[in-house]
Amino acid sequence: MDKIQQVQESALQAIQDANDLETLNQVRLQYLSKKGSIQALMSEMKTLPKEEKPEFGSKVNVCKQLVTEAIDAKQQELEEGALFANLENEKIDITLPATQVKLGTVHPLMIIQQEIEHLFIGMGYTIAEGPEVEEDYYNFELANIPKDHPARDMQDTFYIDPNTLLRTHTTAMQMRELEKAKGQAPIKLICPGKVYRRDDDDATHSHQFMQSEGLVVAENITLADLKGTLEHMANAMFGSGRTIRFRPSYFPFTEPSVEVDVSCPFCNGKGCNVCKGSGWIEILGAGMVHPHVLEMNGFDPEKYSGFAFGVGLERVAMLKYGIDDIRNFYINDQRFLKNFDRFD
């Protein structure tokens, strides 16, 4: 009986002293395994006189149960301790200042392009695309600018070979779309994209810039439709209250052709240094699609008419954001670009 008491006490002491799961496991093996001390006590029972066996047996069982419960309790305690220690170690101090993740920004020209796309999609237009490396045929011939036409000089062209060039205007895409339609109207689309000219770069010229073409062809399209559409665009882009005016101009692919001015958004048309005192700012070229262009593209000019316009995106962005040097759009200076960070 003393031995049982001894084993029990030493087991409970060992359990109490175990400070980690590994040691506790050793204790479990030492006392509770088949070769452990408690099993050894059980074996001793054989040597006892019959009348002592029941009491001895029940004492050993009580001892075994006590030790088992103590080990289980200690195991749970140690496991929880380990969990809390881990939680403590892995704790993230969310009050520490974080390193700032620098996100890219939408380029100002893309902001303008997206605004225009949104606006025209809202009026039922679709968006067309075309190649930047273009055939002379679409850039010039179909636009009513044959080889000897003086208008070719107005657009200093990057030629790749005599029939291939970098498109000088988005009007090339207008021609592709007209041809593709095979005489079927209505057509209602815009084509934004990059264009190229052999200009020397300075504050107002860039050898690469962006335009968006607009084109509508259907029955009974008039100059009044063009004017209403562009007035809507001017108000959407430069704020409500804008008016526009048409000045006669010349483009080979439109007849009549107009240069379009918007009332100066800076002085409301009173005259300031941005509009050079005139109250008006030129924003784009436009006109009624030339009957010969319709004809060359398979449309009956007696039945169909259309309007077209070409707007320079840099020009719109410069006016809208007060940018005075077009080169800013292309040198990728972070100090410039971050002004357009919508997440700031």
**Contact residues for ligand DAH, defined by CB under 6 A:** 169, 171, 174, 213, 251, 254, 285-287, 308-310
Please say which residue, 60 or 286, places its beta carbon nearer to ligand DAH: 286
* Min dist. Cβ of residue 181 to ligand DAH (A): 16
For the CB of residue 112, give the shortest distance to ligand DAH in the complex, in Å.
Answer: 16
CB atoms within 10 A of CB 304: 20
Residue-by-residue DSSP string for 147-179: TT-THHHHS---EEETTEEE-SSTHHHHHHHHH
- By beta-carbon proximity to ligand DAH, the closer residue of 73 and 123 is 123
Closer residue to ligand DAH, CB minimum distance, 28 or 315: 315
Residue 8: what are its φ and ψ, rounded to 5°? -60, -45
Cα-flanking dihedrals φ and ψ of residue 248, to 5°? -60, 140
Nearer to ligand DAH, 28 or 169 (CB): 169
Residue (27 or 143) nearer to ligand DAH, CB: 143
3-state secondary structure of 214: strand
| Residue 209 CB, nearest approach to ligand DAH (Å) | 10
Q: How far apart are CB 127 and ligand DAH at their closest, in Å? A: 16
Structure tokens at 240: 């409500």
User: Where is 78: in which H helix or E strand?
Assistant: helix 53-89
Provide the minimum distance between the beta carbon of 286 and ligand DAH in the complex, in angstroms, as a whole number.
5
CB 238: neighbour CB atoms within 10 A?
19
Residue number with CB closer to ligand DAH (31 or 196) = 196
Cα(203)–Cα(53) distance, integer angstroms: 109
Nearer to ligand DAH, 174 or 263 (CB): 174
Structure tokens at 32: 């509770």
Query: Is the CA virtual torsion 43, 44, 49, 52 positive or negative?
Result: negative
Q: How far is the CB of 93 from ligand DAH (least distance, A)?
A: 59
Rounded least distance, CB 271 to ligand DAH, Å: 27
Tell me the residue nearest to ligand DAH as measured from the CB. 310
Strand partners of residue 247: 259
The single residue listed with the structure tokens 């009026």 is 123
Smallest gap from Cβ 170 to ligand DAH, in A, equals: 7
Pairwise CA distance, residues 223 & 150, whole Å: 26
Token pair in block for residue 46: 């054989």
Among residues 233, 124, 130, the alpha carbon closest in space to that of 175 is found at 130
138 vs 251, which CB is nearer to ligand DAH? 251
